[in-house]
Amino acid sequence: MVQTTFEEQVVYSRPIAFSDSQTHYCPGCTHGTAHRLVAEVIDEMGIREKMVGVASVGCSVFAYNYFNFDFVQAPHGRAPAMATGIKRVLPDRYVMTYQGDGDLASIGMGEIVAAAARGENITVIFLNNANYGMTGGQMAPTTLPGQKTSSSPTGRDVELAGFPIRTAELLATLDGASYVVRRSLHDPKNIRMAKKAIRLAFETQKHGLGFSLVELLSVCPTNWGMTPSQAQDWVGEVMVPYYPINDFKVHPALANIKA
């Protein structure tokens, strides 16, 4: 009889920083992708036990259930202030906020600008899906000109509702910001780039360089009324031209850090 042995090789496993739980996100949503990337980076850096996450209000309100480390949950828009409070009393911990565009760039614009200007040594993961997802797809500060949402039913009219905010570009003007970039989650190449950026953002915090933020262009197939595949194409074809993938602020000390 011939004995056949199989060598077991792990090709996929759940990051330890990722909880073994089912998310409430819609099919095709990129929140799951962003969560996974953050969890992988935290595992790779070995910082899970030193993490305190701050969840925000919006679709990612339950992020605390999906990550496997200490978490608090902030009032709408106030996550950077809560993160400041945590970081100032526990400067050797890693503090992350996870916010959407309604939370960060509308109701929480004051808190995020102030935290960045102070050079608060925290990392912000900022998902921009150009609408308020949780409440059913209303116009957000990031909604593109002409984009139809439930509160801009004929398309965003810039004469009445003004123009979208390019958050990363805006925050990059602040001296306290050390790492501010935009990435996208609409295809594998961009997802790999996003992971590197998330790593560099946490490295920024690790080295005490100050405020770091990664804006991630994301899909919202449910509220956009598209299939997940159409939504991914829409990000690449419509969102990226308005919100370019770029590094807007990179502290010189980060040049020597490999992500």
Partner 1 sequence: MAKELLKGNVAIAEAAIRAGMNAYFGYPITPQTELLEWLAKRMPELGRAFVQAESELGAVNMVYGAACTGARVLSSSSSPGVSLMLEGLSYIAGTEVPAVLVDIMRGGPGLGNIAPAQADYNQIVHGGGHGDYHPIVLAPANIQEAIDLTYGAFDLAEKYRSLVIILADGSLGQLMEPAVLPEMLPVIMRQPEWATYGAAGREKRILSSINLEPREQEAFNLHLEKRWQEIKKAEVRYMEYYLEDARYAVVSFGTSGRISLSAIRAARAKGIPVGLFRPITLAPFPEQELYELSQRMDGLLVVEMNSGQMLEDVIKITRNSIPVEFYGRMGGMVPMPEEIEAEIDRLVNQPHSPNGHPRDRWLDRFSLDN
Cα 113-117-123 angle, rounded to 5 deg: 75
Please count the residues of this chain forming the interface with partner 1, following the rule CB under 8 A.
35
Nearest-approach distance from CB 6 to partner 1, in angstroms? 35
End-to-end Cα, the chain, rounded Å: 50
d(CA 172, CA 190): 21
For partner 1, the closer of residues 122 and 197 by Cβ is 122
Q: Which of 26, 28, 44, 114 binds partner 1 (CB under 8 A)?
A: 114
Nearest-approach distance from CB 231 to partner 1, in angstroms? 27
For partner 1, the closer of residues 79 and 200 by Cβ is 79
For partner 1, the closer of residues 49 and 237 by Cβ is 49
Burial of 93-130, coded b for 16+ CB within 10 Å and e otherwise, reads: ebbbbbbbbbbbbbbbbebbbebbebbbbbbbbbbbbb
Nearest-approach distance from CB 116 to partner 1, in angstroms? 11
Q: Per-residue x/- mask for partner 1, residues 23 to 62, rule CB under 8 A?
A: -------------------------xxxxx-xx-----x-
Q: Which of 40, 101, 103, 111 binds partner 1 (CB under 8 A)?
A: 111
d(CA 78, CA 103): 8
Structure tokens at 257: 């850090």
81 binds partner 1 (CB under 8 A): yes
Going by their DSSP bridges, the two strands 177-184 and 246-250 should be labelled as antiparallel
Nearest-approach distance from CB 34 to partner 1, in angstroms? 19
Phi/psi-derived region of residue 199, left when phi > 0, alpha when psi is between -120 and 50, beta in every other case:
alpha
For partner 1, the closer of residues 52 and 214 by Cβ is 52
Of the ranges 37-45, 83-91, 143-151, 244-252, which one interacts with partner 1 (CB under 8 A)? 83-91
d(CA 115, CA 121): 9
Structure tokens at 228: 């997940």
Q: Are 82 and 54 in contact (CB under 8 A)?
A: yes
Q: Which of 26, 45, 72, 240 binds partner 1 (CB under 8 A)?
A: 72
Closest CA to 193 of 156, 247, 142: 247
Q: Are 97 and 56 in contact (CB under 8 A)?
A: yes
Q: Report 138-197 residues binding partner 1 (CB under 8 A).
A: none
Q: Which of 30, 33, 84, 147 binds partner 1 (CB under 8 A)?
A: 84
74 binds partner 1 (CB under 8 A): yes
Q: Which of 106, 118, 151, 236 binds partner 1 (CB under 8 A)?
A: 118
Q: Other C-beta atoms within 10 Å of 67: how many?
A: 23
Residues that bind partner 1 (CB under 8 A): 48-52, 54-55, 61, 64-65, 67-75, 78, 81-86, 88-90, 93, 110-111, 113-114, 118
